Amino acid sequence: MLECCTLGTGGALPLPDRALSSLYVRVNGRSLLIDCGEGTQTGIRKLGWGFRCIDGLLITHYHGDHCSGVPGLLLSLDKAERRETFHIWGPVGLKRIIDGLRVIAPALSFPVELHELHGEGEEFSLIGLNITAFPVNHGIPCYGYRLHLPRQGAFQPEKARALGVPMAHWKDLQQGATVNGVQPEDVLGAPRQGVSLLYATDTRPVPEIVNHGQGVDLMFLEGMYGDETKRPQALKNRHMLFAEAAELARQAQPGQLVLTHFSNCIDDPEEYLPNARAIFPETYAAADGQCFVLQYPKE
């Protein structure tokens, strides 16, 4: 199971009920964030899913609305007495950005490890998720992220018995340990279908979103502009219209398309949803503090 929460759904400027971009993702009690706009630490406190368990941050790009909450987040992790390394991924320039923001958070209770993304992106793992970073088109280096939670095969007790593994150690095998020379794969069936989500904001439509988003359970795309009247701004500022996000979803066929990162010229995103649903019916508008649960599919 993967849980996530849109801590902030505002783009560019925060509103009283719409903080800046951040998604909190939790798997088996460990967490990561995608983006960390101003107000993220307050959103986490409201949500109540904890600070110490946050192992890393994936930054899409370095516009202020996506990373202005970094010093506050680090200071909150420090106050929560985190000790383990905290990992940050982001586009080229990561060290300069984090060093700059850390002028007001220089001494922390934990090490910070930076992972700079280059060119076509890369694959890595955190909190049990297989993560793919892929470049999008926002005029400055900017990445989208695909998060995949794999699911191992079902445990097969008859195999464990045949290999002589005592029942007390079955759990160890299920959790990936080797017991008396028996490997987990010796007693597990074929890997089962996991769950996945894609997160990409601040971009014109690009084929990478369709490629990486094929069949994901949940696709977060930006809802920066609601209708055709804003196309000039969308082209100029390299953002998307609701309808353009929906067209990407139509091609990728996720379980749901959830729009976030709304311009503050959009008072009520629901008003513009028909523009997206005409193209991809399973489209929804996120709100601050909204939680989503991705359950493994039934066998």
Binding mask 140-179 for a copy of itself (x = CB under 8 A): ----------------------------------------
Interaction between residue 226 and a copy of itself (CB under 8 A) = no
Interaction between residue 12 and a copy of itself (CB under 8 A) = yes
Half-sphere exposure of 247 (CA within 13 A, CB side): 9
88 φ, ψ (degrees, to nearest 5): -125, 125
Interaction between residue 8 and a copy of itself (CB under 8 A) = no
Interaction between residue 97 and a copy of itself (CB under 8 A) = yes
Interaction between residue 45 and a copy of itself (CB under 8 A) = yes
Q: Given the rule CB under 8 A, which of 71-79, 141-149, 156-164, 270-278 is the region that contacts a copy of itself? A: 71-79
Q: Could you tell me the smallest distance in angstroms from the CB atom of residue 103 to a copy of itself?
A: 3
Q: Given the rule CB under 8 A, which of 10-18, 148-156, 177-185, 197-205 is the region that contacts a copy of itself? A: 10-18
Interaction between residue 96 and a copy of itself (CB under 8 A) = yes
Nearest of 30, 22, 23 to residue 1 by alpha carbon? 30
Sequence letter at residue 62 = Y
Work out which of 4, 31, 38, 87 binds a copy of itself, going by CB under 8 A: 38
Torsion of the alpha carbons at 100, 103, 109 and 113, rounded to the nearest 10 = 10
Fill in the DSSP letter of residue 168: G
Q: Given the rule CB under 8 A, which of 67-75, 121-129, 147-155, 193-201 is the region that contacts a copy of itself? A: 67-75
Q: What CA–CA distance (Å, rounded) separates 129 from 151?
A: 10
Q: Could you tell me the smallest distance in angstroms from the CB atom of residue 73 to a copy of itself?
A: 10
143 φ, ψ (degrees, to nearest 5): -125, 150
Neighbours of 133 (CB within 10 A): 22
Two structure tokens written together for 221: 């795309």
Nearer to a copy of itself, 18 or 148 (CB): 18
Query: CA 288, 73, 35 angle in degrees (round to 5)?
Result: 55
**b vs e for 48-69, b when ≥16 Cβ sit within 10 Å of the residue's Cβ?**
ebebebbbbbbbbbbbebbbbb
Q: Is 55 a catalytic residue?
A: no
Nearer to a copy of itself, 63 or 212 (CB): 63
Residue 272 near residue 240 (C-beta atoms within 8 A): no
**Would you name the residues annotated as active-site residues?**
65
For a copy of itself, the binding residues (CB under 8 A) are 12-16, 19-20, 38-39, 41-42, 45-46, 62-65, 67-69, 71-72, 75-76, 79, 96-97, 99-105
